[in-house]
Amino acid sequence: MNLERKWKDQLYQEFARIGKCLSSPKRLELIDLLAQGPKSVDQLSKATGMSIANVSQHLQTLHESRLVRFNKKGNFVIYEVAELSVADFMVSLHRLSEKQLVEIQRLKTDILQHHASMEPISLEVLMERMERGEVLLLDVRPEDEYVMGHIPGAISIPIGELEKHLATLPVNKEIVAYCRGPYCLMSAQAVEILKSKGIKASRIEEGVHEWKRYVEHSNKSTQGKASYINN
């Protein structure tokens, strides 16, 4: 075996470590949750419906592949994604999977049929309407996730607290809800609650990471057009 062939074999063997680690649906869900912000093993257990022992085992595998890291706070072990590129990778995986696998689109359609009027508005439309002061953007994720990062201009009311805070919402603006991204239903639940109380509401499908990518892409497009004009 020549040196180049040996080098490539070793290289793809290392790539395969990540692929093998991501072959578990539960580990993918854990990464999605950690992409929203650091969480304890107990929080992850409650969010996924897995036992603490199973969560710990999956986290160990993710840690061995350098996809997550942890630190101790008192008696708690807190996990987070190893770096933001892990969250970016998950966004790419979601988009590729939905594009290539018809089953994913069907599953999304099936679940959203259980929620009335759930057609999302686009990020472009949202940003235009926010600039005109026509809508209020509502982040319905847990407050700690909002603190870790949110779409600028959004206010935080976790989905479990929404009904008791309805009186604080403006009556002259449409409410646009968002949560963890395309496969999170908290925003759909929020719209149902708001509409049931006579409040005009809609949702965006994207979460914080998708919004960041949208902004980066928009900025690059603008810079590209400016460069073309200047030349």
| Cα separation, 112 vs 206, whole angstroms | 15
Locate the domains of the chain by residue range: 3-88, 109-215
Per-residue pLDDT of the chain (231 residues; tens, 9 = 90+): 689 999 999 999 999 999 999 999 999 999 999 999 999 999 999 999 999 999 999 999 999 999 999 999 888 899 999 999 999 999 999 999 999 999 998 988 887 777 655 678 999 999 999 999 999 999 999 999 999 999 999 999 999 999 999 999 998 899 999 999 988 999 999 999 999 999 999 999 999 999 998 998 888 765 554 444 445
Which position has the token pair 């908290």?
A: 186
Report domain 109-215's class: alpha beta
Residues marked active site are found at 179
Q: Please state the pTM of the whole predicted model.
A: 0.84
Question: Which of the listed CATH numbers 3.40.30.10, 3.20.20.70, 1.10.10.10, 3.40.50.720 matches domain 3-88?
Answer: 1.10.10.10
**Strand ordering across the sheet containing 76-81:** 39-40, 76-81, 68-73
Using a 10 angstrom Cβ sphere, with 0-12 exposed, 13-18 middle and 19 or more buried, the burial of residue 78 is middle
